[in-house]
Structure 1
Amino acid sequence: MATFHLKDRYGALFHLRRKRIRLLALGTSTAVLVDWLLSAGLCVGLAALMPAPVTIVALATLLSLVGYIWLALAITQAGPPASSPHLTAWDAALLSFVASFSVQTGAQLGAFST
């Protein structure tokens, strides 16, 4: 016969439910991060195929374009951008724009000069 602890207010089911929610959020965050890394890697690969003088400009442009695509995905499919416990398409769009602006700033500062 099962025994119940009267001092345990929440019970084992509550703790299992909390653990499952955390694991689902971690899986979602990992999936969005991997998808963003793949799209950024595609941008780097396409920019590497360009001639040397336009490589940095092409990379910044492609990253901005991917940012707008992630933003369109976030507007049409994702929920509100605030109070989400895991990464969403909004965060991926922000990462793309940050990467694009970082490449542009690095180009202005001469970090990519040969």
Structure 2
Amino acid sequence: MDPEEIKRRKLLELQKKLAEQQQQEEALLEAKMQKRALLRKILTPEARERLERIRLARPEFAEAVEIQLIQLAQLGRLPIPLKDDEFKALLERIAAMTKKKRDIKIIRK
């Protein structure tokens, strides 16, 4: 193989990797857009504001709440649209469930 052939193959390989990476990014963006559209249908504007404030303070918790909201809505267990006071009650229940998991006991001997 001559050096030109090697360069051409490497260039093709890099182009293929870039195309795959771009497809993955587009798929991620599409998924985010779908999630936002679903949340727009599920939550009232006030509840969406509350979720955005939570996202600023605790992004992982907000992500978990979003997933649960979508799942509950798909199962038909949520009133749609979910009002802010109902959303607060749901957040309190979720926080109570996660708080139990976070308790750490240190036993000194």
TM > 0.5 between the two? no
Structure whose residues are more often helix by fraction? 2
* TM-score, L = length of structure 1: 0.39
